[in-house]
Amino acid sequence: MRRTERVFVENLGIHGFHGLIAEEKSLGQKFYADIECLVARDEAPSDTMKDAVDYGKVCDLAHDISASGPFNLIETLAERIGHGVMETFPLVSTVRVRIRKPNAPIRHFLDHVGVEIELSRD
């Protein structure tokens, strides 16, 4: 029997200096990340961390990648987090990363803007 696990982090708050405007790079701002990892396997995992994706480490990874910036685009941040997850967690077959920017410097009233990427192993 084939099974798929979904390990996820939602609304991870990250402070970063990402954006195209000078003030974004000097003052920084908050971003929110959703990271979804899919693990496909033929049987249930053992009850140990060696057979699991550690969501605490996923959060640490996203935080560290954001801190390694600044990036001009949140697309770059999402891409780096996605690749980091795939490199760090060989069990993950697909990762989806969504970055939300609640204080985008645009003149419209909105909750947030953002991007979402999905990476899969061949």
| Catalytic sites, residue numbers | 101
Q: How far apart are CA 35 and CA 8, in angstroms?
A: 6
Q: Which stretches does DSSP call E strand in the chain?
A: 3-16, 29-41, 94-101, 113-120
Helices 55-67 & 74-88 angle (0-180, nearest 10): 140
Phi-psi region of 7 (alpha: psi -120 to 50; beta: other; left: phi over 0): beta
CA 110 to CA 30: how far, in whole Å?
A: 15
